[in-house]
Amino acid sequence: MMLVVVCGLPGVGKTTVAENVADRVNGRLIRTDVVRKSIFDDPEYTDEETTMVYTEMLDRAEEGLRSGENVVLDGTFHQTTFRERARSLAQSLGADFEVVKVECATDVVERRIRNRTDDASDADFEVHLLYRDTFDPLSLDYKLVDNSAGLEETQSQLDQHF
């Protein structure tokens, strides 16, 4: 059993990486963007709302882990407390725990956000910049994926990790 957190700034390609990781570990993918919209008709992105989204996401992860599934969580996980809650959940259930941090060149992020279509994320480039300034440094061990190049390069990096 495994719990994988895929984290990073908005627009860096977390979902692309998380989908690839979920395929590799035969895991259930849970995205904060999808969870948020399943809870709130008109999200306001307040701190309270964000805490509720991460709580629900971790509840869903626990359900998956308890049923023997591998689980991949896709979200910014910009606060240490959210990452620690995920680690504690994995530990309490005897699951392996991995963190994958996704990074991407700023100009590539800006272009990708501008060209998004049919995506659950509402984050624009201003949100990316805001999170860049407020993202808590990672204190846990993590695997780094630079998603600046094409999908083939990203998959090559994931081959080394999974």
For the chain, what is the radius of gyration of the CA atoms? Answer: 15
Residue 95 to residue 16: CA distance in whole angstroms: 23
Q: What is the pLDDT of residue 117?
A: 58
Secondary structure letter of residue 34 according to DSSP: H
Return the percentage of the chain with pLDDT > 90, whole number.
Answer: 73
Beta-bridge mates of residue 74: 6, 31
Q: What is the pLDDT of residue 114?
A: 77
- Domains of the chain are 2-161 (3.40.50.300)
Q: What is the pLDDT of residue 121?
A: 62
Chain mean pLDDT for the chain: 92
Average pLDDT over residues 3-11: 95
pTM for the model stands at 0.92
pLDDT tens-place string over residues 15-51: 999 999 999 999 999 999 999 999 999 888 899 999 9
- In sequence order, the 6+-apart residues with CB closer than 8 A to the CB of 132 are 9
Cβ–Cβ < 8 Å for 22, 29: yes
Q: What is the pLDDT of residue 103?
A: 95
pLDDT tens-place string over residues 88-136: 999 999 999 999 999 999 899 888 877 765 666 666 677 777 788 889 9
